[in-house]
Protein backbone atom coordinates (compact mmCIF):
# COMPACT_ATOMS: atom_id res chain seq x y z
CA UNK A 1 0.00 0.00 0.00
CA UNK A 2 1.45 3.31 -1.05
CA UNK A 3 0.30 5.31 1.97
CA UNK A 4 2.77 7.46 3.88
CA UNK A 5 1.26 6.91 7.33
CA UNK A 6 0.72 3.17 6.75
CA UNK A 7 4.42 3.00 5.98
CA UNK A 8 5.38 5.05 9.05
CA UNK A 9 3.11 2.88 11.25
CA UNK A 10 4.76 -0.24 9.79
CA UNK A 11 8.24 1.26 10.45
CA UNK A 12 9.10 1.14 6.76
CA UNK A 13 9.76 4.87 7.10
CA UNK A 14 11.40 6.58 10.05
CA UNK A 15 9.57 8.79 12.48
CA UNK A 16 10.00 10.00 16.03
CA UNK A 17 7.53 7.68 17.70
CA UNK A 18 6.01 8.82 20.99
CA UNK A 19 3.18 6.28 21.39
CA UNK A 20 2.77 2.75 20.12
CA UNK A 21 0.31 -0.10 20.59
CA UNK A 22 -1.15 -2.90 18.47
CA UNK A 23 -3.74 -0.54 17.00
CA UNK A 24 -2.41 3.03 17.31
CA UNK A 25 0.81 4.94 16.64
CA UNK A 26 1.78 8.49 17.65
CA UNK A 27 4.75 10.30 16.14
CA UNK A 28 6.08 13.85 15.89
CA UNK A 29 5.00 15.94 12.93
CA UNK A 30 7.92 16.54 10.55
CA UNK A 31 6.91 20.20 10.18
CA UNK A 32 5.69 21.20 13.65
CA UNK A 33 3.17 24.02 13.96
CA UNK A 34 3.86 24.45 17.68
CA UNK A 35 6.38 23.30 20.32
CA UNK A 36 4.33 20.09 20.70
CA UNK A 37 2.92 18.65 17.47
CA UNK A 38 2.16 14.95 17.43
CA UNK A 39 0.13 12.94 14.91
CA UNK A 40 -1.92 10.04 16.25
CA UNK A 41 -3.01 7.46 13.67
CA UNK A 42 -4.66 4.04 13.54
CA UNK A 43 -2.40 1.29 12.18
CA UNK A 44 -5.22 0.09 9.93
CA UNK A 45 -5.76 2.34 6.95
CA UNK A 46 -8.77 4.66 7.19
CA UNK A 47 -8.90 7.61 4.82
CA UNK A 48 -10.41 10.22 7.11
CA UNK A 49 -13.27 10.95 9.52
CA UNK A 50 -15.56 10.68 6.49
CA UNK A 51 -15.06 6.88 6.50
CA UNK A 52 -15.65 6.30 10.20
CA UNK A 53 -18.47 4.21 11.61
CA UNK A 54 -19.28 3.10 15.14
CA UNK A 55 -17.25 -0.03 14.41
CA UNK A 56 -14.16 2.19 14.80
CA UNK A 57 -15.25 3.11 18.33
CA UNK A 58 -12.58 1.15 20.15
CA UNK A 59 -9.63 2.41 18.13
CA UNK A 60 -10.96 5.97 18.33
CA UNK A 61 -11.25 5.65 22.07
CA UNK A 62 -7.65 4.53 22.26
CA UNK A 63 -6.51 7.39 20.00
CA UNK A 64 -8.12 9.99 22.28
CA UNK A 65 -6.80 8.29 25.40
CA UNK A 66 -3.32 8.42 23.84
CA UNK A 67 -3.78 12.11 23.02
CA UNK A 68 -4.85 12.94 26.58
CA UNK A 69 -1.91 11.00 28.02
CA UNK A 70 0.62 12.55 25.63
CA UNK A 71 -0.71 16.04 26.42
CA UNK A 72 -0.50 15.39 30.16
CA UNK A 73 3.03 13.97 29.84
CA UNK A 74 4.08 16.99 27.77
CA UNK A 75 2.84 19.26 30.54
CA UNK A 76 0.22 21.00 28.41
CA UNK A 77 -1.66 22.13 31.50
CA UNK A 78 -2.83 25.34 29.84
CA UNK A 79 -4.62 23.40 27.11
CA UNK A 80 -4.03 22.20 23.60
CA UNK A 81 -5.78 21.66 20.30
CA UNK A 82 -6.84 18.39 18.64
CA UNK A 83 -7.44 18.79 14.91
CA UNK A 84 -8.30 16.51 12.02
CA UNK A 85 -8.61 17.75 8.46
CA UNK A 86 -11.05 16.05 6.10
CA UNK A 87 -10.61 16.45 2.36
CA UNK A 88 -9.16 19.18 0.17
CA UNK A 89 -11.21 22.13 1.45
CA UNK A 90 -9.86 21.49 4.95
CA UNK A 91 -6.31 21.00 3.65
CA UNK A 92 -5.94 17.27 4.31
CA UNK A 93 -2.60 16.43 2.71
CA UNK A 94 -2.17 12.80 3.83
CA UNK A 95 -5.05 10.41 3.10
CA UNK A 96 -4.75 8.36 6.28
CA UNK A 97 -6.78 9.40 9.33
CA UNK A 98 -4.71 11.38 11.82
CA UNK A 99 -5.41 13.62 14.77
CA UNK A 100 -3.00 16.50 15.28
CA UNK A 101 -2.17 17.16 18.94
CA UNK A 102 -0.89 20.74 18.94
CA UNK A 103 0.21 22.65 22.03
CA UNK A 104 2.81 24.61 23.89
CA UNK A 105 1.76 28.05 22.67
CA UNK A 106 -1.41 30.12 22.72
CA UNK A 107 -3.62 29.83 19.64
CA UNK A 108 -6.25 31.86 17.86
CA UNK A 109 -9.73 30.90 16.77
CA UNK A 110 -11.19 30.46 14.19
CA UNK A 111 -8.46 28.59 12.30
CA UNK A 112 -7.55 29.74 8.79
P1 LIG B 1 -2.83 17.14 7.12
O2 LIG B 1 -2.36 18.30 6.27
O3 LIG B 1 -3.19 15.96 6.26
O4 LIG B 1 -3.90 17.49 8.10
O5 LIG B 1 -1.59 16.73 8.02
C6 LIG B 1 -0.52 16.00 7.54
C7 LIG B 1 0.65 16.28 8.43
O8 LIG B 1 1.64 15.30 8.18
C9 LIG B 1 1.32 17.64 8.21
O10 LIG B 1 1.28 18.40 9.40
C11 LIG B 1 2.75 17.29 7.79
O12 LIG B 1 3.72 18.16 8.31
C13 LIG B 1 2.90 15.87 8.32
N14 LIG B 1 3.82 15.04 7.55
C15 LIG B 1 3.87 14.91 6.19
N16 LIG B 1 4.81 14.04 5.83
C17 LIG B 1 5.36 13.57 6.98
C18 LIG B 1 6.40 12.61 7.25
O19 LIG B 1 6.99 12.00 6.36
N20 LIG B 1 6.71 12.40 8.56
C21 LIG B 1 6.06 13.05 9.58
N22 LIG B 1 6.45 12.77 10.83
N23 LIG B 1 5.07 13.95 9.35
C24 LIG B 1 4.73 14.20 8.07
ZN1 LIG C 1 -2.67 4.42 5.28
Specify the ligand 1 atom closest to the Cα of 85.
4
Backbone torsions φ then ψ of 18, nearest 5 degrees: -120, -10
pLDDT digits (tens, 9 = 90+) for 5-43: 999 999 999 999 999 999 999 999 999 999 999 999 999
Q: What DSSP state is assigned to residue 8?
A: H
C-alpha count within 13 angstroms, C-beta hemisphere, residue 18: 20
pLDDT digits (tens, 9 = 90+) for 39-97: 999 999 999 999 999 999 999 999 999 999 999 999 999 999 999 999 999 999 999 99
Any ligand 1 atom below 6 A from CB of 85: yes
Specify the ligand 1 atom closest to the Cα of 95.
3
Rounded-to-integer distance, Cα 32 and Cα 75, Å: 17
Query: Whose Cα sits closest to atom 21 in ligand 1?
Result: 30
Q: From the CA of 77, how far away is ligand 1's center (Å)?
A: 25
Amino acid sequence: MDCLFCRIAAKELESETVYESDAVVGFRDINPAAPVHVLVVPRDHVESVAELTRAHGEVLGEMFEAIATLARDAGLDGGYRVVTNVGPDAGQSVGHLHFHLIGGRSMTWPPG
